[in-house]
Structure 1
């Protein structure tokens, strides 16, 4: 029964890792790390704009009382054209840590399945490995989240417009916010923290110790009765 409980708890972490893989993949593949509105400073009441972008691609819709115009753009190309658009080092760190965290999440899922089916004795393949892969994933995902928060704080909350748009007096000052792609990463961190809790409570020796207490007491009582 105890072994079944342990394997069941570990299998739950496999499901959690699969959810995390989906969340991180969605964060990489969707273009809503930042969303913002925009206005032209000379005529803010007659102009309107909507911008959203992810780590690689984005979309903006601008209207200056002549109808909406839609533009697709590359985030990397914008950074090449305008060094003030984003801090390249922060962007690169966010991308790299997000991608590597996806690899560690996959490892956590694979070894969770292995530990559900068998009892590996290796450090990296057994229960210590489950702690390792999930912990490394949390660290990497926290790096991605932290560097994007720093990026937003230093650059994106003040401006998400291209250099050309700024020359045309467009501004997004104070109108930007985090999009759901960013929150996917935050959710993935929470999932792995939950995974660590399942691993701890599923593999802790405390339950086994509790289950052996009655047996010990019974033996002690038997010895007393014998004397």
Structure 2
């Protein structure tokens, strides 16, 4: 402990750097969680034949693969989370365009024209932000709609999905703030309290809160619906029986990101403890020095 106290650079700057690195690692984990397609991982089989299906998808996109006895190789299909406006539910659609996704949704929701999934080609559709396009850009007359033939429980809950995205985005934003404050404090001494150690504590506190909410929201969505009904055509039509459904590594990366936020706060707390210990030692040495020795 004494060596750490004597090293002023480590005491004043080093722990801020460590805290900033931990925050930066948390940003990486959170970004990977948002961008990867393994929030849900499931396997199943066709009820009437020995055809297996493997599914994985994330907050925006995913993939499913079917394989039967007559298939020379697994048949892949791309998936996209599709949330038409005004319905309150989302479909994990195998359509490759907005028109196809809308057609599949109308078929499954309202029993309209049948839609068959098309296998993925080598030129897969690139991922795009569904935060910007939360509703379909296909104009459909209200008179064309009919009563749903399938209940909300067979689809993904739109409210929980979009709330998960909001809190995950807030978590990422405050992680960036935390990392920025850590590195800022490593190179300068701020005057304002909110951009000093207190600001780092508050930013990491918000990261922790939003991270817990994100994990709880998606965990609730999984346990209440997606563990049995995957919001895809195969489970909505009750064609495939899913043998296993689990939360994938993308979901658990959010927990890892949360742990690094805690580690960042621990570094700042450890720095403050070292400073107090150092100040106590200095005061102790000064008070024990005989007055006559100074002259």
Q: Give runs of aligned pairs for residues 1-227 of structure 1, distance below 5 A.
A: 1-2=7-8, 4-43=10-49, 46-67=50-71, 68-77=74-83, 79-80=90-91, 81=105, 83=152, 84-160=154-230, 162-167=232-237, 169-172=239-242, 175-204=244-273, 205-219=275-289, 222=290
What is the SS of the residue equivalent to 1:177? strand
TM-score, length basis structure 1? 0.88
Q: Provide the C-alpha distance between the structure 2 equivalents of 1:192 and 1:178, rounded to a whole number of angstroms.
A: 22
RMSD: 2.3
**In the alignment, is the contact (CA less than 8 A) between 1:6 and 1:203 conserved in 2?**
no
Larger proportion of helix: 1
* Superposition deviation, residue 73 in structure 1: 1.3
Q: Note closer, same or farther for the CA distance 1:178–1:168 as it changes in structure 2 (3 Å cut).
A: closer
3-state DSSP class of the match of 2:75?
Answer: strand
**With structure 2 as the length reference, what TM-score do the two structures score?**
0.69
Aligned mates of 1:165, 1:33 — CA distance in 2: 17
Deviations 1:121-179 (A, max 9, x none): 21221111010111111111111111111111111211225135542611225x01111
Higher mean C-alpha deviation, range 203-212 or range 153-162: 203-212
| Counterpart-to-counterpart distance in 1, 2:70 and 2:224 | 33
Q: Separation in 1 of the partners of 2:47 and 2:286? A: 80
Determine if contact 2:229/2:236 at 8 Å carries over to the other structure.
Answer: no
| Cα offset, 1:2, TM superposition | 3.7
Q: Structure 1 regions of 5+ residues with no counterpart? A: none
- SS of the residue corresponding to residue 172 of structure 1 reads strand
**What are structure 2's unaligned runs of at least 5 residues?**
1-6, 84-88, 92-104, 110-151
Report the secondary structure of 1:42's partner residue. Answer: coil
Which residue of 1 is the match for residue 146 of structure 2? none
